[in-house]
Structure 1
Amino acid sequence: MTTAPLTSSESAPALALGSDSELDVDRRDPAYRGWLREAVRKVQADGNRSADTHLLTVPLPAEWGIDLYLKDESTHPTGSLKHRLARSLFLYALCNGWVRPGRPVIEASSGSTAVSEAYFAKLIGVPFVAVMARTTARSKIDLIEFHGGTCHLVDNPCEVYEVSARLAAETGGHYMDQFTYAERATDWRGNNNIADSIFRQLEREPHPEPAWIVAAAGTGGTSATLARYVHYTQRATGICVADPENSAFFGGWLGQDPSVTTTVGSRIEGIGRQRVEPSFILGAVDRMMRVPDAASIATIRVLEGVLGRKCGASTGTGVWAAFKLVSEMKARGERGSVVTLLCDPGERYLDKYYSDGWLAEQGIDIAPYQERVERFLLTGELNR
């Protein structure tokens, strides 16, 4: 966390203190406290205006006795799961005194969090700068700029942390640092967090306590919230994290080693990191799956025909893992439900995951995985 330097008018005078000196220093600034109250009110009002996101059903044969749901986070005002996180991060930073009027908020991001943070920065009237890899989808850059933010692009995705901290220090702004604070900024005990919302929406369903909830990790904050809530409310639901290629999370979880890194970045925007981020709570997760990028992309291509809409590839990563869990449950003769997340809309990735040219450039062949997904939807069998 970067704190803004004191200006000359804020500097405390030098004091010669005796051993029995009594001190009483009050630094409250009425103007700042008034701004802070209004900023917190505006961010809270955004949550109050926002209806809960939908829990969609993915049609499966009724005779399986297994229900699959998608928590549609794309309906948030900024179009992704990260809207919840950005709201929590802004409230956390504001109440900690880290965000100040007129000073910029800086964030390291793969795009969607920055879109949502740009929205909240504009809402409370502070500048916003997103530090992102140059390969970030152009549509996300456009959305950040639409909400009044600016983008600082770097060639090496691993540089986003250092560059963000440096920019915050140079400008006297605040580095939001979602990768550290995501797991602690959200109230995981309840207060309409994503886990609380899922369980409330399942109350009238045939299997109200799902066998599994699947998330894909970007910061790790969502999986931490889901797992903590499940344990806190004493449920039997398992938490599974689906991880893309080139991500450190799977290896870190497998060996319970937070020092694991990778040399290549994830091709699935929004999830997968080259290091195990501080917000990824290794001990809270019950199961992890490494999902091939081709499987993630094939899944959203097939899912478009099922749902009538495009989804981002991070959704495909989670849905592939959910399909595998459903397939295993069916093979064991189990009935129940599985929930995963629709993270953001596919329209943000038309030049990537929905482009055959991009797939060819990346050397990704999705045809075998498309066949497996289509067979699964008919038979419940996902293996080769």
Structure 2
Amino acid sequence: MGLHGMSGDSESRFESYVEDLCRAVRHADRAAPLRAYCLGLMLPGDRKSVEPMAARVEPGRVQAAHQSMHHFVAKADWSDEAMLAAVRATVLPAIERHVKLRTWIIDDTGLPKKGVHSVGVARQYCGQLGKQDNCQVAVTLSVANDHASLPIAYRLYLPEGWASDPARRHRAGVPDDVTFRTKPQLALEQVRAALAEGVAPGVVLADAGYGVDTAFRTGLSRLGLTYAVGIQSTASLWRPGEAPLPPKPWSGRGRPPSLVRHDPEHKPVSAKEMATSLPPAAWQTVTWREGTNIVLSSRFAAIRVRPAHRDTLHSEPRPEEWFLVEWPEDEAEPTKYWFSTLPDDMKLADLVEITKLRWRIERDFQNLKQELGLGHYEGRGWRGFHHHAALCIAAYGFLITERSLIPPSGLCSAPIRQAPALPDGYRPRGSARPA
């Protein structure tokens, strides 16, 4: 079996890459299905489920290859976390060949799914569809610089209905130690694990689904990490220079009051109210990225404020941080809001440029879904779901290392590999019979 369409140098690098990953699957006899699965994910084809991939990779022995690859992804006892760690160890030096890593990006990705039996499937918001629908959702942590990014953690979000249903858990093989966690809680667990494993810290970026969670932001700060995270227009904050009132004076009886407070004459405002009250001079047009066909720019303002949500549960005001707002000139009101703990002397253009780096993760998952079949796994179990995702990221990691050999000015998508001819009469399982 050759590496179809690869140059001799690329083929040699792929073999070396797979050899590095083999340590994560623990047994030498798993090297062949690991290699075949990664290759199958990179070859062109409409479906990246096991049987069609087996036919492309091993057209002369489809059934045997299918059985081997299926067992490897769905049944074999190897750690997807160990696989992602092996990918990270190999790929991050390549990503940093030209530019150091700058950010950690937290996000979640929805995988549309029919039926109700696949692990974690529920009617919930699916970003790929832009609406509520039946899907699985995975929480991810990626590392990125201006030129490349790589997911380094990937965990299925298990809705409460699944987490509390012993029968469904058992059928899907959900481990006993997996309990219900909100998406921000899962993200914080991934961040803690990355720090424990020695991943170089970066500015944490996340959308408002995470940034609105005060405990999430507080958790990042306690870990010593800087963030720039989205918030909603309803988020509460203090005007510049303001803070909650000190605790009430002690009456001399009982415990002295210790919590800060609000009152009707001294209370925080919403993010939208704060943004719309800013003077015209506060707004600047900032260009944050120039592509080959488009220049991305908009109007922004940034001021120092104190977040106010539930601050009356604390004895001290929260520290000041940046409140960043985007308000395009052609919009009737602001469109996006962020809190950020980046340095207080940071220039607005730099604050915007770092915050907007979150776009990289959207490209990653577009490639992972459209080119590498992230959402094509047909099994229903917990192990297979995570194994398939880890192998998709492993294949993607190899393509990133290939692109890293090109200077940044010439970066482009890796070439599509040529698939071998399918055997005469081959028909994917479940497809319609020819007329």
Alignment TM-score, normalising by the size of structure 1: 0.30
Task: Answer 1 or 2: which has greater helix percent.
Answer: 1
* Relative contact order higher in (CA < 8 Å, ≥ 6 apart): 2
Give me the TM-score of the superposition, normalised by structure 2: 0.27
Q: Which has the higher strand share?
A: 2
Larger Rg: 2
